[in-house]
Structure 1
């Protein structure tokens, strides 16, 4: 089966202009009408082909062979149990693959590494790749995975992640590969919700004299009970520091300073 797709389909809205130009350029003279019509048809054909090219026309040839790229999130935000569940999902998928199907595996965190190249076979084997895990660059993983697809196969990308990228434009990258005929599926990995805290308000006197004592009002918010260290800096110098307990919601502290 052959399917036509376009990467910039909105440009197809310009196609009616070809008919308009044909109307404006149709021959009116009795002499040489045959050659004029042929020239007009060729011009319209050239303009149509240019518009189709700009719209990114491409043919997708479907077949019995399926190429699958698995992207597994192994960043710090995904627990080890969920990472094991993701790899078990990949193993089960490989075991159920057809005889002509091929699959690749990419592990990603702050960077993305190809753990298994695009190949046939129903066994995953031992994991050897160790990406950096302090960040989550899903966009980089999508781009790397898209480069592994062979030509002439039905293409599918399975993203196993907690959906918390910290680097790149993951949604934009996913839309791009989808526009190029790749089926994109997502398996959401559960992750424990970590306590979060942030400063929401800081209040100080508008005017102060030199060496005058004053009180700095600091409001911090938290998603749950959490212990924190509140530090006030003056340039690179620590002006005040204290251990505080944050309750869920707003917490206001008065810090005396000079």
Structure 2
């Protein structure tokens, strides 16, 4: 244990002890020596306490123990598409089923050199975090499954949950295993919070290639409208490459005819309807370390969502109350990998026409 001061310049105030003692000896001369020196000692002790408070006395205890908490993404995109990186002795990467085994092996290998007091914990997450193993010197990392999957990916909440598990008597470090495809939460804000408390984050990127994937990113509808008003609904589609198919739109589960005189009720989406969107740069002042396993180009994520198609539909609102809308995209055969993200919902609250109550006496 060592002693340090935040403001050591205040220690010069201890020189006041000399005049305080001198004044006490002369002003308390009528008292017995024992009482006189007791009073002087109390005054000097009070001066010492005040000076130490102003100087910011701190007792610092150093330790070499380290607590590492692994935060592992197990969202649907990782469960479906993630592949372990190749190693020099492999011709192909491991299968999807073996990816959790690769993560566990990776963490165990990195933990082999830990000392007796070092601890390892595990948090897995999809739409919500789950604490699988509290920090402990003999952590068992066999718990690598999601018991009840929750839709979405919330890395920010998982980071905050892991931060709450750190013991106060050791160093702190986070290892984040993720594909970076968050659907909710502000992971940058969570990283800033970790940095503010002195917790570094090492990132193990999960890389994969999705050749064919299309999704309904969002259905935009006004929050409020009036009865009889015509509102514009906006459907945004994203895909890894231009995809053919048809878009359906339901109003309170009743299909809206998007084809006019053409047979069918869905609007066709053609190759030429897609536009290539430039990737946005999101610079951040929060630094994290990225661990790169030896991989080749085949394990790099494809640009999911780089192609965008937008359709706008005018819909008249004939009745009051909550009007619910659902957009569905039906891709052509063989042009989509995951069907669960091929629809989106929205609603509009429709108010009735205004009325006046006239009371005549």
Which TM-score bucket, shorter chain as reference? 0.5 to 0.7
What per-residue deviation string (whole Å, max 9, x for no partner) do you get for residues 182-231 of structure 1?
1211111114343346699xxxxxxxxxxxxxxx9x99765413244312
- Aligned CA distance change for structure 1 residues 173 and 222 (closer, same or farther; 3 Å): closer
Instruction: After superposing the two structures, state which structure 1 stretch, 109-118 or 183-192, moved more.
Output: 183-192
Whole-angstrom distance in 2 between the partners of 1:126 and 1:251: 41
Whole-angstrom distance in 2 between the partners of 1:73 and 1:103: 17
Whole-angstrom distance in 1 between the partners of 2:131 and 2:184: 19
Checking the alignment, whether the CA contact within 8 Å between 2:134 and 2:165 is kept in structure 1 is yes
| Structure 1 residue aligned with 2:14 | none
Matches within 5 A, 1:89-128: 89-121=106-138, 124-127=141-144
Whole-angstrom distance in 1 between the partners of 2:159 and 2:309: 41
Q: Indicate which of 214, 222, 227 corresponds to 1:195.
A: 214
- Aligned CA distance change for structure 1 residues 239 and 47 (closer, same or farther; 3 Å): farther
| Equivalences, count | 211
What per-residue deviation string (whole Å, max 9, x for no partner) do you get for residues 74-132 of structure 1?
00121353542333322222333223211000010111111111101275335355252
Whole-angstrom distance in 1 between the partners of 2:118 and 2:148: 27
| Structure 2 residue aligned with 1:52 | none
Whole-angstrom distance in 2 between the partners of 1:60 and 1:173: 28
- Aligned CA distance change for structure 1 residues 125 and 47 (closer, same or farther; 3 Å): same
- Aligned CA distance change for structure 1 residues 231 and 43 (closer, same or farther; 3 Å): farther
| Structure 1 residue aligned with 2:189 | 172
What per-residue deviation string (whole Å, max 9, x for no partner) do you get for residues 222-253 of structure 1?
54132443124556532212263442427798
Show structure 2 runs of 5+ residues with no match: 8-22, 24-48, 85-98, 220-231, 258-264, 276-307, 317-361
Instruction: After superposing the two structures, state which structure 1 stretch, 91-100 or 139-148, moved more.
Output: 91-100
| Structure 2 residue aligned with 1:242 | 266
Whole-angstrom distance in 2 between the partners of 1:43 and 1:120: 43
| Structure 2 residue aligned with 1:185 | 202
| Structure 2 residue aligned with 1:81 | 83
- Aligned CA distance change for structure 1 residues 234 and 109 (closer, same or farther; 3 Å): closer
| Structure 2 residue aligned with 1:55 | none
Whole-angstrom distance in 2 between the partners of 1:137 and 1:159: 12
Whole-angstrom distance in 1 between the partners of 2:311 and 2:185: 36
Instruction: After superposing the two structures, state which structure 1 stretch, 109-118 or 93-102, moved more.
Output: 93-102
Deviation at 1:149, TM superposition (A): 0.9
Q: Which has the larger radius of gyration?
A: 2
| Structure 1 residue aligned with 2:20 | none
Q: TM-score normalized by structure 1?
A: 0.61
| Structure 1 residue aligned with 2:168 | 151
Whole-angstrom distance in 2 between the partners of 1:235 and 1:88: 49
Whole-angstrom distance in 1 between the partners of 2:118 and 2:235: 57
Checking the alignment, whether the CA contact within 8 Å between 1:70 and 1:104 is kept in structure 2 is yes
- Aligned CA distance change for structure 1 residues 139 and 131 (closer, same or farther; 3 Å): farther
Matches within 5 A, 1:128-143: 130=147, 132-143=149-160
- Aligned CA distance change for structure 1 residues 225 and 197 (closer, same or farther; 3 Å): farther
- Aligned CA distance change for structure 1 residues 149 and 251 (closer, same or farther; 3 Å): closer
Checking the alignment, whether the CA contact within 8 Å between 1:158 and 1:186 is kept in structure 2 is yes
- Aligned CA distance change for structure 1 residues 172 and 135 (closer, same or farther; 3 Å): same
Deviation at 1:152, TM superposition (A): 1.7
Whole-angstrom distance in 2 between the partners of 1:176 and 1:69: 16
1:65 aligns with 2:65: yes
